[in-house]
Amino acid sequence: MVAKKTRFWILISLVTISGFSQGMLLPLLAVILEQNGVSSSINGIHATALYIGILISSPFMEKPLQKFGYKPVIMVGGALVFISLAFFPVWQALWFWFILRMMIGIGDQILHFGTQTWITATAEEKSRGKSIAYYGLFFSVGFTLGPLMTNLLSINMVLPFVLSSLLSLLVWTSMWFVRNEMPPSEHTTAYGSSSFKRFGLAIKLGWVAFLPPLTYGFLEATLHGIFPVYGMRIGHDVNMLSFIIPSFAAASLFSQIPLGALSDRLGRKKVILFVITGGTIAFTMAAIYENSTIGLFATFAIGGLFVGSLFSLGISFMTDLLPKELLPAGNILCGMSFSLGSIGGPFISGVFIDIFPSVSFFYTIVGVLVIVFIATALKPSPRLSQA
């Protein structure tokens, strides 16, 4: 069996391939459905299937983790992902693809819950932000590479799905070499046996930490699921969009680790407010220069440098605020917050494009960032320091 450090990198590789599959599916299916004449609002609703899967599965994960341990939970999640990906070419129907997207959402959430909880439970306190930043960094690596698969549509529609399924299977097999571990029993028995009681307490103690994952979910799903539709409608080429979209996640690769380390020194709240401010400026500029390919590439990259780290910063913030007994509940709530943002992103943006076709859809992103900035800033700092 592998050593602890090797196990960490195997878990990170699973996160990477999960990011890859999500980063591929959103723009790939958005382009296919747009080319088939599906409206942007229906396209947006369809994109929420993955996050509906995340949301509906989230409350039921603590007990399987406690009963079976980390490894079986992670392997079930990974298997759901690569099997579902392989079934996309079988039948091209809206409802069938919706179900497959939802199954991938369930698989991704199971996988992320297992890996997140294992990593956060074993990360050293003095370098917690940096350790969890690796998690966000490699998810972003996958997310950066995923949209490039859209270019394979010109060769064969089946090719992206087959390749991503095979890659997922290959990484999944590495988990066979990892020794299973059980989470400490107090993680799921403290504060009573009710999961919902622990969720309630986790929300009470750390609600502000769930806003960054929610915001990142909104951004990720909107930029990958709806921007391709919007970009084509304002005259951008599909192949060019497949390079613009990854610039957001690619830029975050350079800032994830520095921002995580900075938050270890300065505090999560200060760094989160800083990155939201930068993201607000970047997407305001994106609205102004949306007709310029270079302008979009630059503003997406600048936005990624700032808000591309929100998910990992939110997990670190949650780990600071909650006692260890509530970490599984906190990790689940981070996933649920991410999925709520991801469901709201494509739906709100898709409807916005249909109702206000002459107004830049980037203003929906700016509006969300401003609201989250205000909510985070108004939360008193003394309460935040109760780690």
DSSP 254-295: HHHHHHHHHHHHH-HHHHHHHHHHHHHHHHHHHHHTTT-HHH
Please write the tens of the pLDDT for every residue from 279-330: 999 999 999 999 999 999 999 999 999 998 898 899 888 888 888 778 878 8
Tell me the chain's radius of gyration from C-alpha atoms: 20
Please, are residues 175 and 78 in contact by the beta-carbon 8 Å criterion? Answer: yes
Residues in the chain with pLDDT < 70? Answer: 1-2, 123, 125-128, 184-195, 380-387
The arrangement of secondary structure in 4-384, i.e. its CATH architecture, is Up-down Bundle (1.20)
What distance in Å separates the CA atoms of residue 116 and residue 108, rounded to the nearest whole number?
12
Q: What is the pLDDT of residues 166-207, one digit of tens each?
A: 999 998 998 898 888 887 665 444 444 456 788 888 888 889
70 in Cβ contact with 117 (< 8 Å): yes
Query: Rounded to whole angstroms, how far apart are CA atoms 110 and 328?
Result: 12
One-letter amino acid for residue 182 of the chain: M
Predicted pLDDT at 192: 45
For the entire predicted model, the pTM comes to: 0.75
Question: Would you say how long the chain is, in residues?
Answer: 387
SS3 358: coil
Domain ranges of the chain: 4-384
